[in-house]
Structure 1
Amino acid sequence: MSDDASATVLLVDDEAALVSLYEAYLGDRYEVETATDGEEALSVADDSVDVALLDRRMPGMNGEEVLRELRAAEIDCRVAMLTAVEPTVDIVDMPFDDYRVKPVDESELIGLVDVLIERASYDERSQEFFALASKKAALEIAGETSTDAYATLCDDIEAVRSELDDHLDAVGAEAAFSDVA
């Protein structure tokens, strides 16, 4: 993952005007690649991409298919679904890092990219925790909290949180006694 100054963001949306707007928002801070359909996105995506912002509903190859192809190709980038599609429990199994419902303003978009770049420096379990928490928040905002999938998601979050807490406790104990040995 690149540092902020040289991070590359891939914007994928079938609305060319929206791609241009988002590019204007981000262009002064990041290298920006754009695509207006899924096939073009996959032709542009490579290991130089740090963050991909994907529209979920596009003609041809949709954002979910692009997401799965990015993951299958093992392109190590953080992915946010940036879409007008309200989330439902179908997002629980999607391998993204964050989910935002359009419209988003400039500060929200920059903040999202900044957070995703920061998360890239986290270990795998911490990244998983934040991805799960993002799904939970999206479902709560959409009022999708009375399903088995939501309950399972909450259980998964607690399991990862517990594992992270145990790891932090162990690291803290090691650090506390490192001078004694």
Structure 2
Amino acid sequence: MTPDTSSVLIVEDEPDLASLYATWLEGAYDVETAYDGETALDAVDESVDIVLLDRRMPGLSGETLLATLRERDLECRVAMVTAVEPDFDIIGMGFDDYLVKPVSRAELLRIVEQLVLRSSYDEQLQEFFALASTKALLDAEKTAAERKSSEEYAQLQDRLAVCRVQAGETMMELFERDGCRRLYQDLSPEPVS
């Protein structure tokens, strides 16, 4: 495993299915499995990037586990991978994506790639806005001559420009992979009948 490898926790009460998913993802990701909600709760910490979560499991359900993860403010992305067809009860559940079983290898890989890319974009945006806020504050408080003579300010401007390009490239990659289609569906007006 390299430091840049994203970690995926598969939470699935059917061991054969969990092993299949793990086999599909191994090599590209650092993969762990948990066969129940309680074990998963113990396994999830800041090092887990993506959780693939079965919705209905004996004991601690996927829904309860998801709520607990969100209460802990863990920054992992969660995709429900379940046989439960979505209904209006999913509103407000707090997952990042929802797949209905059976899922194919290509589908599972696609969703994990999407979630990793979204996480990267979120981090890039956070850094960009932090740098932009710092620059705005210095622009308001320091004179143009002071800013021009500051090496730290020049480095801030350079880093801000790099962040802007990186975030733009990641956004384009999301669009190219059709990752934003579902993210922005609610922004387009519904057809009037």
* TM-score, normalized by the shorter chain, greater than 0.5: yes
Note the alpha carbon deviations across 1:48-104, whole angstroms, 9 max, x for none.
111000000100111001101111111111100000000000001110100000111
**1:72 matched residue in structure 2:** 71
Confirm or deny that 1:55 pairs with 2:48: no
Describe how 1:88-127 pairs up with structure 2 within 5 A: 88-123=87-122
Note the alpha carbon deviations across 1:88-142, whole angstroms, 9 max, x for none.
0000111010000011111111111000000112348x9xxx89946x9xxxxxx
Greater C-alpha Rg = 2
Q: Could you list the runs of 4 or more consecutive aligned residues of structure 1 that deviate by over 6 angstroms after TM superposition? A: none
| TM-score in terms of structure 1 length | 0.67
Supply the distance in 2 between the matched residues of 1:49 and 1:85 (Cα, whole angstroms): 24
User: Which amino acid in 1 is paired with 2:50?
Assistant: V
Supply the distance in 2 between the matched residues of 1:55 and 1:5 (Cα, whole angstroms): 26
User: Which amino acid in 2 is paired with 1:23?
Assistant: A
Aligned length: 135
- Residues 21 and 57 of structure 1: is their aligned pair in 2 closer, same or farther, counting only changes over 3 Å? same
Supply the distance in 2 between the matched residues of 1:131 and 1:41 (Cα, whole angstroms): 29
| TM-score in terms of structure 2 length | 0.63
- Structure 1 contact 4–114 (Cα < 8 Å) conserved: no
- Structure 1 contact 51–77 (Cα < 8 Å) conserved: yes
- Structure 1 contact 12–37 (Cα < 8 Å) conserved: yes
Q: CA deviation at 1:5?
A: 5.0
SS at match of 1:95: coil
Supply the distance in 1 between the matched residues of 2:180 and 2:94 (Cα, whole angstroms): 8
Describe how 1:163-178 pairs up with structure 2 within 5 A: none
| Runs of at least 5 residues in structure 1 that lack an aligned partner in the other structure | 137-153, 163-181
Supply the distance in 2 between the matched residues of 1:4 and 1:90 (Cα, whole angstroms): 38
**2:161 matched residue in structure 1:** none
SS at match of 1:79: strand
Confirm or deny that 1:38 pairs with 2:37: yes
- Structure 1 contact 5–29 (Cα < 8 Å) conserved: no
- Aligned-CA RMSD value: 2.8
- Residues 4 and 101 of structure 1: is their aligned pair in 2 closer, same or farther, counting only changes over 3 Å? farther
